[in-house]
Structure 1
Amino acid sequence: MKLYPIEAGNFKLDGGAMFGVVPKSLWNRTNPADSNNMIDIAARCLLIEDGDRLILIDTGLGDKQSEKFFSYYFQWGDDNIDKSLKKNGFHRDDVTDVFMTHLHFDHCGGSIQWNKDRTGYEPAFKNARFWSNEEHWKWATEPNDREKASFLKENIIPMEQSGKLHFIEREANKSFIDKNPLGFGVLFVDGHTDKQMIPHIEYKGKKLVFMADLLPTAGHIPLPYVMGYDTRPLLTLPEKKQFLEKAADEDYYLFMEHDAHNEIITLKHTEKGVRLDQSHRFDEIFN
């Protein structure tokens, strides 16, 4: 097995929305805002090369939305999936599986693209299967009013129409980590959105966890620092507490999907609770 960070592009989100009830005077220390109150956000995906499988976890925003849509998110830098795949010796047609932690547009938008004559949509990874889970799929395709703007039909329905959509099933015993057909463990969490999936990967003798929106940035480590986007913030708190304590106890390496400035972090126990231990580049740890 070999892992590769894949940079799908950077953008910005409102700092207040990203930190909920936490005052700007506190979160601005770790995630400084610009003049529009926007903070830097990454769309950092993970590619897993395992035998004849090439598995991509999440796909970023993609590029099919309107100019008006993208104007809300202040994209910056020149990273994209194709450039990042090429840098690592791959093409999107090599991808065999696309695993989506959840179906918010900034996690799955790159899974679907315009067709050649822009009359409809098609899979952006033509040889890949798409993986979600049945409960989250129902949640996304019958969205509540609060999340409706995050679950865009053009990102989601074409996966089903392609005939390549597959569901990962959660084990009946609801263990902390459930194994899935792609060979890595998955933690199911419900605070941010229903049945978000957090991949756990054993790699080179270490436990690497793809954080998705359970921990968006290193600045979100303190327990009350919960996004305004979370649908069940009072559920995020115990889910996050249990995970962070386990991650500190067992020396997990956390792969940060949305932290533009911290690629991998580790945690430690302190008198104030679990806090940041170290920040690393991916190749410093897994060279």
Structure 2
Amino acid sequence: MTSIWVDYLDREFLDTTFKDWVNSRLVNGLTSNPAIFSNALKKDVYKGEIEKLKKEGKNSKEIYEELAVRDIQKACDILEPLYDEGDDGFASIEVDPRLINDAKGTIDEALRLYDKIERDNVMIKIPANEAGYKAMEELAKRGININATLVFSPNQAMKSLEAISKGGRRIEGVISVFVSRFDRKLNNQLAMQNLAKDRVGFFNAIKIYNQIEEAGYSNIRTLFASTGVKQDYLNKDYYVENLYLPHSVLTLPLDVIEEIKNKELNESFHFQTKHIDAFFSFLTPAGINMQKVYQELFDEGVEAFEKAFEDMLNSIK
């Protein structure tokens, strides 16, 4: 089975469109991140609550956390019937991205969020780096569902898998492999070398998917993230067409869900790792060092989330 989760959240959306999509089984989960909350909290629907919390003496981080917890609780409650049926029903919230290299801080914040949300169907998002792997392992051992995020490389995915697996079969885990950012970064360089564009993202994702599937954990899946299309010449559902694979999750922005909601989705062609490696063998002669690309994309992702988080906190002040 392939799951579709929505990569978006705001209060009005949860009360309207999201409920409809869940009830119709168009989507069966939700993911959020600092950039999503940064955009959401600019909306008028939050202004009254923000002012009330300010008067109570709460600082920007406390106000954000209060509102984020309420929204994730609402999402979890809407998804609960699906969760009870074993049809996913998870909602994800990310820890403060500024804790990126602080394992203890990440664990403490994750536990605080988990205790505040008080929902079995919440997933805590943890970035996939050395501090994050330690946090994933500790949280998994405590029975908390994990969404490993900002995964670009097979190495990150395998270390996340190892950490999440320490929770045994009692938890659910997803490993969020970012896709479209590869193509936006590399397309011009590929075109100059007469190599196919818009392939590296989903080839890399399928390679990681193959490794995760070979590990054989029924409760840990690949989640394909960063699936919005920026190139005008591609269909909005380009990455869905190429990554609709069994035992995986596609988390999609609103415009992609609108594109697919009346379509019958078919399983994508399943590329074997050897075919993907054959394509990747042309990248080094073209001047593309994938290890360097993995690190750059991770650093860029962390920087973008930190900036979104800081901007959000400043806008609340």
TM-score norm. by structure 2 comes to 0.28
Q: Bigger relative contact order, structure 1 or 2, given CA contacts below 8 A and separation 6+?
A: 2
Q: Which has the higher strand share?
A: 1
Q: Which has the higher helix share?
A: 2
Structure number with larger C-alpha Rg: 2
TM-score norm. by structure 1 comes to 0.30
